[in-house]
Chain A
Amino acid sequence: MGTDMSGASILDIQNLAVEIPTDSSTLRAVRNISLELKRGQTLGIVGESGSGKSMTALALMNLLPPAAKRSAACINFDGADLTHATEQELASKIRGQRIGMIFQEPMTSLNPVYSIGRQLRETMTLHRKVSDADAQKRAIYLLEKVGLPDPASRLKQYPHELSGGQRQRVMIAMALMNEPELLIADEPTTALDVTIQAQILHLLQDLQKEFGMSMILITHDLGVVSRAADQIAVMYAGDIVESGKTADVLKNPRHPYTQGLLECIPGYQGAARKRLGAIPGIVPSMTGRISGCAFASRCPRAADVCKTDTPPTRELHPGRYFVCHEPEANAVEKAGAPDLAGVHARPFSGQPVLTVENVSIRFSVRRGLFGKRRPLQALDNVSLTLNKGEVLALVGESGCGKTTLTRSIMGLQQPDTGSVTLNGRHIGQLPPMERARMIQPIFQDPYSSLNPRKTIGEIITKPLAVHKLGARQEQREKARRMMELVGLPLRVFNSYPDQLSGGQRQRAAIARALVLNPEVIICDEPTSALDVSVQAQILNLLLDLRDELDLTYLFVTHDLSVVQHMADRVAVMYLGEIVECGNRDQVMSAPKHPYTHALMNSALSISPGESIPDPGLSGDFPNPMNRPSGCPFHPRCPIANQQCREQAPGPEIIDNTLVQCWKAKTAGSQLKS
């Protein structure tokens, strides 16, 4: 492995392996990887689920699950070898003191029965002889640093009283209590909304500079690493397949997996609507003996030697290497292959299929049995048109009312006022069966949206059976055609959902939605539970199907690169209102509403070397129970004035874009400065 002699390394790992014995064989979660991190730098470990990136981090601190076995030639942390350190030594000298750690799940990573203050203080008092009062001071100081308003009173609160973003800030403050030399952040922002993600990453970067920390950032998101990491290590199936300086690796990837991964990212290739370069197949499970290259089965360039021999490590220059046989044959040409499918045609009849007019929905929420009922305005005067054949993306942060809107569009939630019409007919007056034939949903989580006790065949034929369409044999025939259409192998017809991979499950969910030939498909975050390489397959499929079957999509997502890739038009929601709606390019590149502006600013495209943007929003997404007066966005808006605080703006059309903002005409120029 390349060892750059310049700069002292804080962490040097050689030949780290993690194996988990299973009933029949051994899962090789991490396979002999070597890593080096220089003091004060950030190393990004990137990979899809199952690549072993989290295991690597846990192995470092020896926090692996009890069954897992770790081996390493050396784990050198600041000159001391941790390989043979006992649990007691690690606990008393390293963990929480010199190496801090932040985990992915902010909702479950804090102890629910103890106050925030206690959890922060004990991190310090456990390791040092400090008084509770001093620890308290440090806790307040750090909570202030991580941007939690009113830190002193936060200390008395319990985790369940905080939002996900706030909890993650507490986690960060907790990891920093003892000024660790190394911070390991395992998917620190994955569960969070984009604006909060940008805030947290921005914060981590600032803190890193201030405290001179080194950092390991583990993520599946290439956009995040491209901006936050100095060095990058790409992991695949337990091995580091490519490594080097971030800009170098991302601009000039050498391993076919890195190249494939980059081609999978919507928007990375430049023009939207180009077919994404999906990596076929799925990550093989690394059990037993592994011969050849683990990526060979999915590699477009694999030669015979790749299947039999372990690939060599090729060092381009010190610190920059990749592990590949480099089969020479037309390497460059094939890498460009996905472009052949070309740009999608965009048939556009422009006829409105679905119209949402002034829909308002108010829930009355009661806490506990005797609590007071309080109103929650889920939707406030929402209007929307969906034209035949178009893809309308609906974006917004959690709690903004996206789900309620889709439910009312599917007729599952009766609006209090306003109407939803489908082909000119009121959705509430359509018989449920007819409505179901015209609108079908595809949900986020294919793990829970398919009945685990039914076979794939039964799941896909079920809608036909419910609607009594055709004889049993015809139904099964139709289901098979659907499976072919969505690219599901027919052999899974009699399989159960848990025997399928995530991507296959989502394909089954799509087949189930399409089997009734609906006109409108509501896609509710259809790819956010999937890995990027699989996401690319599904996005390609959805666009192909739209062209083939003349479908209309309402595409709910929080991922702006997906919006950029898929949408014709974009609607932005905030606190139950559509604050901006218009053409994709207009909304995304010249946003008129300050919230859209912040949202677009927070999107982390892959741009090595560029810094993490500050979304410029103050505060957190408000609790929908306490809607601010006037314009609901004014407490976070950087350009709000007296009028915004007192009066709610109405919808206004500017350059074909609908905006709800008092300062829409001038916002653009004001925000840029």
Chain B
Amino acid sequence: MLTFILRRGLMAILVALTVSFGTFALFHYATDPAQTIAGEDAPQEMVDEIRKQYGFDRPAAVQYFDWLGSALTGDFGESYFWKQPVVQLIVDHAPVTITLALASLCVTVLIALPLGISAALKPNSWVDRFALSTAVSAQAIPNFWLGLMLIILLAVTFPIFPVSGDATWRHFVLPSLVLGASSVPAVMRLTRTGLLDVLSSDYIRTARAKGFTGYRLIVQQAMRNALLPIVSVLAVQLGNKLGGSVVTESVFSMNGLGRLAVESIFNSDIPTVQSLILIFVLTFVLLTLAADLINAWLDPRIRMG
């Protein structure tokens, strides 16, 4: 297990480094950062001045390692637009996004797993049909539309929850439902097919021949096998929620990282955009690493390579 963790950790670090290089290269070669900061019509002297001031005239490698070194010590530079340290911006916006992501993940898990499991236990029954049609509709309904509908129904017509904002826990209920619902179809389907596969496997037949049935058969024999793909997909879904809740945050006017990313892009705030991309990608790297470690703990075949 220890060698597996070391090997897998090393891989994650390699991926993270590659990504950091990619993000750096993207902004320093695809655009002229000095020109961007100065503005389209700025005179050449001013652009040169800025280039010098920000150090864009140094060799690319020096800039990269400089940037990487700072990033590693938690210094992501200063935002051109908000004129404050990027770290501060991220620290300010992250709690909303993290809370929203975790809450919506709970929503996903609480809906998708029971639905998927009961569908798999009774294939072609009414539960199964209900689950599948839920999945199809959830997949067809756009996020923002569901958000608006919930606002109309539960915030305007019946004012149970606030319309927008992120001040109290009540503000998080509707957005979590919306964001959580978007992952239900994928997770539900995977739970259903995964468990169906496991239940029709030879080793479950063996377990039944040994006398396992009902709850014991599912929990003590099938579940661990069925969990493997679910863990992986949940990690990806959580990553999506941490990095991609732009629409939901906009609909509910929540001040999270998604909003921050959109505004930074509109205002060409390169240090902020660059840092956000790096953080989003690192989140993914960490989450898949975590998923792999959990799976390795669950499955000896992965653990022993």
Interface residues of A (CB under 8 A from B): 61, 63, 65-66, 87-88, 90-92, 94-97, 100-101, 103, 105, 108-115, 122-123, 126-127, 158, 160-161, 171, 174, 367-371
Contacts and interface: CB of A to CB of B under 8 A. Distances in A.
Contact of B7 (A112, A160, A161, A368): A368
Given A112-B299, A126-B210, A370 B7 contact: yes
A103 B205 contact: yes
Nearest to A157: B300
A95 B209 contact: yes
A426 to B, nearest CB: 40
Given A368-B7, A369-B7, A96 B209 contact: yes
B207 interface: yes
A87 B213 contact: yes
B219 to A, nearest CB: 13
Given A109-B202, A161-B304, A171-B206, 17 more contacts: A61-B209, A65-B200, A87-B214, A95-B209, A95-B210, A96-B211, A105-B202, A111-B203, A114-B224, A122-B220, A123-B211, A126-B216, A158-B301, A160-B300, A160-B301, A160-B304, A370-B7
The 8 closest A-B pairs by CB, nearest first: A96-B211, A96-B210, A91-B213, A101-B209, A108-B202, A158-B300, A368-B305, A111-B203
21 contacts: A61-B209, A65-B200, A66-B123, A87-B214, A90-B213, A91-B212, A95-B208, A95-B209, A95-B211, A103-B202, A103-B209, A105-B202, A108-B202, A111-B221, A114-B224, A115-B300, A161-B304, A368-B305, A369-B7, A370-B7, A371-B305
Given A95-B208, A126-B211, A367 B305 contact: yes
A65 B202 CA distance: 12
Nearest to B227: A113
A370 B11 CA distance: 11
Interface string B180-194: 000000000000000
Contacts of B202: 103, 105, 108-109
A91 B202 CA distance: 17
A122 B206 CA distance: 12
Interface in B257-281: none
A92 B305 contact: no
The main secondary structure of chain A at its interface with chain B is loop
Nearest to B123: A66
A534 B118 CA distance: 44
Contacts of B216: 126
A173 to B, nearest CB: 12
Contacts of A92: 211
Given A160-B300, A368-B7, A109 B211 contact: no
Contacts of A161: 304
Contacts of A87: 213-214
B88 interface: no
A432 B166 CA distance: 70
The main secondary structure of chain B at its interface with chain A is helix
B225 interface: yes
Contact of A88 (B205, B207, B213, B300): B213
Nearest to A87: B213
Interface string B289-305: 00000000011110011
A122 B305 contact: no
A111 B301 CA distance: 11
A110 B206 CA distance: 7
Contacts of B208: 63, 91, 95
Contacts of B205: 63, 103, 109
Nearest to B6: A370
Between B11, B208, B299, the greatest number of chain A beta carbons within 10 A of the residue's beta carbon is seen for B208
A424 B226 CA distance: 57
Interface of B: 7, 11, 123, 200-203, 205-214, 216, 220-221, 224-225, 298-301, 304-305
Contacts of A112: 203, 225, 299-301
B300 A122 contact: no
B213 A109 contact: no
Between B11, B200, B202, the greatest number of chain A beta carbons within 10 A of the residue's beta carbon is seen for B202
Between A65, A91, A103, A174, the greatest number of chain B beta carbons within 10 A of the residue's beta carbon is seen for A91
A296 B282 CA distance: 70
Given A112-B225, A367-B305, A368-B305, A122 B210 contact: yes
A103 B301 CA distance: 22
Contacts of A91: 208, 211-214
Contacts of A370: 7
Contacts of B213: 87-88, 90-91
Contacts of A158: 300-301, 304
B206 A111 contact: yes
Nearest to B221: A111
A325 to B, nearest CB: 38
B201 A174 contact: no
A268 B11 CA distance: 60
A90 B208 CA distance: 10
A367 B304 CA distance: 10
A366 to B, nearest CB: 11
Nearest to B11: A369
B305 A109 contact: no
Nearest to A58: B205
B211 A97 contact: yes
Contact of B206 (A65, A109, A160, A371): A109
A65 B304 CA distance: 33
A158 B298 CA distance: 12
B21 to A, nearest CB: 21
Given A113-B298, A369-B7, A127 B203 contact: no
A367 B7 CA distance: 13
B299 A111 contact: no
Nearest to A62: B208
A105 B204 CA distance: 13
A112 B298 CA distance: 10
A394 B216 CA distance: 48
A359 B25 CA distance: 52
A110 B203 contact: yes
Contacts of B203: 108-112
A454 B60 CA distance: 55
Contacts of B300: 112-113, 115, 158, 160
A303 B305 CA distance: 62
Contact of B225 (A96, A109, A113): A113
Contacts of A111: 203, 206-207, 221, 225
A370 B3 CA distance: 10
Nearest to B198: A111
A174 B210 CA distance: 8
A87 B211 CA distance: 10
A369 B200 CA distance: 33
Nearest to B201: A108
Given A112-B203, A113-B299, A160-B300, A123 B210 contact: yes
Contacts of B123: 66
Contacts of A115: 300
B225 A126 contact: no
Contacts of A127: 211
Contacts of A113: 224-225, 298-301
A171 B207 CA distance: 11
A88 B216 CA distance: 12
